[in-house]
Chain A
């Protein structure tokens, strides 16, 4: 059983479209991170959210942490081909242990 459920697993969209990726759990996290990973490379941190209800923006990416700190979403506006990759959420449950979701594979077509 996965502690963090990500949806959708796969997403294929046209350039310019908007999309939202969800990360859900029944557990409360002290923080939640979003990473992006490209083939053959390790994940790269995009953002960390800590406070329930927190919203952070990174250019065309908007991240939200649920009020109860159990879920999070990543919204991309006007997707570009460079956004293609595997998006991973990771929840910090214990002191320094991070639990990763199964990932959302995004393909943005030109």
Chain B
């Protein structure tokens, strides 16, 4: 079966431009997470969607970052006016249940964003 997919796999953009990163979760998964990972280090939580509930946006680093999830499936992370410090790998994960009883997150391969 298909896993979590992300596109593009690599994105190079100029400072100040906007970028959109896409995540296709596993079909039927109700919970979706976005994380940021710098230089092969740990993951930084950005945002969490669960079903039709309001997303937990507490990890977004600034108001230049936003995300939406359409129809409870595909999600888009948008970064406006990109800065060099936004360069990182952006990872998306989904899980089957968001009620705390299914802890396994399935990760996509990530989008490597480079801001020049």
Known pairs A86-B40, A102-B42; A44 contacts B100 (CB<8 A): no
A40 adjacent to B109 (CB under 8 Å): yes
A interface footprint on B89-116 (CB within 8 Å = 1, 0 otherwise): 0010100001010011111111000000
Is A97 an interface residue when CB atoms closer than 8 A count as contact? Answer: yes
B40 adjacent to A103 (CB under 8 Å): yes
Is B87 an interface residue when CB atoms closer than 8 A count as contact? Answer: no
The residue of chain B having its C-beta at the shortest distance from the C-beta of A95 within the complex is: B100
Please report the total number of B residues contacting A with Cβ < 8 Å.
Answer: 26
Known pairs A42-B4, A97-B45, A100-B43; A92 contacts B103 (CB<8 A): yes
For the complex of A and B, list the 8 residue pairs with the smallest distance between their C-beta atoms, beginning with the closest. Answer: A42-B107, A100-B43, A102-B42, A100-B42, A48-B103, A102-B41, A103-B42, A45-B104
Q: Number of A-B pairs whose CB atoms are under 8 Å?
A: 61
Interface residues of B in 17-50 (CB under 8 A from A): 31, 33, 35, 40-45, 48, 50
A88 to B105, CA, bound (A): 13
A-B contact pairs, 25 of them (CB 8 A): A2-B42, A41-B107, A41-B110, A42-B107, A42-B108, A42-B109, A43-B43, A45-B104, A48-B103, A88-B43, A92-B103, A95-B100, A96-B31, A96-B50, A96-B98, A97-B45, A97-B56, A97-B58, A98-B45, A100-B44, A102-B42, A103-B40, A103-B41, A103-B42, A105-B40
Interface residues of B (CB under 8 A from A): 4, 31, 33, 35, 40-45, 48, 50, 56, 58, 91, 93, 98, 100, 103-110
